[in-house]
């Protein structure tokens, strides 16, 4: 039977906003009795999950102001190609999963990075005075490996890494995002995962989002932030807890499901030391999201 983890990790990475290290709920270390699931599920072969979610997160990377935002849910497997959501983007996996044993993933990822690209969403007038940034289109490879049956017959432990380069001429930089995810069904109607992740950025990326010019004619002298030159390094590290609740009590047959996500990340390095974070914002970043999806 194809692993349920491939089908039920619907919204964890997708609901993470850019400030979180994309950034899913479980209880690793606790050996619970595995739920009895059928030999075949809706996730065997072609399937598609569509829906919508509402998130609540920082208004920009390093902000202490929060806002709500609406996110689409699109995930599935068509003609042997797995489709996985990302923050404002999608990843494809061209390697078919075996019926049993270790599985691998590899394919392209594309994401929109709109951090500080919409001044209407920035509540801090000082940060707003430093201007609107361009939207970055980030493209690169995504790869991973998943080990099934770690603590029970239906769980899995996955390791993944993505690298992405801006091809739109915004920050002109790159990022690398590794993650570890533990997935398990808690019952026939509840699936959960826990994800740990971090994000590394290069000098161009750091300079674009975290450097601060020494002067700003749009602000009174008392409000001008100290000049700061940001260099690359680890931008953030985080943990996310994800849960899916099937509304008819059976995650294996598709239909409607409620999705909940809670996340925390900590800004690191120059992303934390930048005045946008250290003076006007906060290194601790939180995320919450609720959504509903339909799988067929």
Instruction: For residue range 82-119, list pLDDT tens digits in order.
Output: 999 888 899 999 999 888 899 999 999 999 999 999 98
Sign, Cα dihedral of 35, 36, 39, 45: negative
* Domain of 57, in residue numbers: 4-295
pLDDT band at 255 (very low <50, low <70, confident <90, very high): very high
Query: What is the C-alpha separation between 276 and 206, in angstroms, rounded?
Result: 12
Q: Which of 190, 158, 176 is nearest to 84 (CA)?
A: 158
Rounded to whole angstroms, how far apart are CA atoms 232 and 219? 28
**Structural domain total, the chain:** 1
Residue written as token pair 């809706």: 42
Question: Which stretch of DSSP H or E encloses residue 209?
Answer: helix 203-210
User: 37 or 26, which is more confident?
Assistant: 37
- In which residue are the tokens 């770690």 written? 150
pLDDT in tens, 121-179: 899 999 999 999 999 999 999 999 999 999 999 999 999 999 999 999 999 999 999 99
Residue 244 buriedness (CB in 10 A; 0-12 / 13-18 / 19+): buried
Say if residues 248 and 219 touch (Cβ distance below 8 Å). Answer: no
Cα separation values, 8 from 188, 193, 261, 286, Å: 12, 9, 13, 23
DSSP state of 12: T
- For residue 254, the domain's CATH number is 2.40.160.40
């Amino acid at each position: 039977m194809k692993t349920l983890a491939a089908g039920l990790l619907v919204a964890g990475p997708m609901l993470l906003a850019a400030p979180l290290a994309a950034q899913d709920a479980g209880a690793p270390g606790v050996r619970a009795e595995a739920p009895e699931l059928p030999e075949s599920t809706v996730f065997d072969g072609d399937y598609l999950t569509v829906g919508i979610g509402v998130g609540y997160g920082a208004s920009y990377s390093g902000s202490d102001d929060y806002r709500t935002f609406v996110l689409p849910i699109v995930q599935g497997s068509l003609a042997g190609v797995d489709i996985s959501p990302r923050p404002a983007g999608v990843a494809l996996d061209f390697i078919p999963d075996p019926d049993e044993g270790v599985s691998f993933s590899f394919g392209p990822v594309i994401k929109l990075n709109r951090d500080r690209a919409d001044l209407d969403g920035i509540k801090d007038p000082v940060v707003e005075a430093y201007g609107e940034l361009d939207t970055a289109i980030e493209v690169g490879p995504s790869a991973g490996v998943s080990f099934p049956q770690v603590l029970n017959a239906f769980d899995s432990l996955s390791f993944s890494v993505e690298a992405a380069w801006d091809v739109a001429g915004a920050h002109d930089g790159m990022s690398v995002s590794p993650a570890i995810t533990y997935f398990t069904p808690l019952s026939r109607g509840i699936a959960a995962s826990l994800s740990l992740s971090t994000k590394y950025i290069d000098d161009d990326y750091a300079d674009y989002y975290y450097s601060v010019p020494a002067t700003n004619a749009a602000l009174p002298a008392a409000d001008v932030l100290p000049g700061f030159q940001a260099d690359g390094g680890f931008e953030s590290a985080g943990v996310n807890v994800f849960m899916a609740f099937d509304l008819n009590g059976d995650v294996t047959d598709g239909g409607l499901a409620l999705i909940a996500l809670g996340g925390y990340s900590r800004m690191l390095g120059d992303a934390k030391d930048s005045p946008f974070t250290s003076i006007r914002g906060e290194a601790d970043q939180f995320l919450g999201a609720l959504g509903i999806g339909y799988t067929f």
